[in-house]
Structure 1
Amino acid sequence: MKETISSEEQLGTGAENYELVSVVVEYDERPNQCTIYHPDSNAIERMSSWISADTECFVDLYAER
């Protein structure tokens, strides 16, 4: 599953306006993993410029506001 974060969702966060892509990889024997990266990054850049964590570590932005 791919998901992008729109600039409207970033309003009020003080964040610069840029797009990120998130990909969830589902596993049978361990927690699913979500990786977030810049869509224009190449494979080499993604190895050093990404965030990855178990999906259970992420929370819904609007639920936490």
Structure 2
Amino acid sequence: MANKNGTPFQMTCVIHRGNESSDYVADFNRKRAALLRETLEALNEAELNELLMMLEEMKKNRI
């Protein structure tokens, strides 16, 4: 998923300075966290285990 500039959605969550208020950033982060929480709650145990294994593999590859 990308924003209107083609930037990946996960990269759009940054701390804004200047005219944009910190309330905007905090609201965006709350909405993103709520969506992630809802998604994780919808997964069953097997899907959660698969996700955990994928995250562990990604972590190993980053180091």
* Higher normalized contact order (CA 8 Å, seq sep 6+, divided by chain length): 1
For the pair shown, which has the larger CA radius of gyration, 1 or 2? Answer: 2
TM superposition score normalised by structure 2: 0.23
More strand as a share of residues: 1
More helix as a share of residues: 2
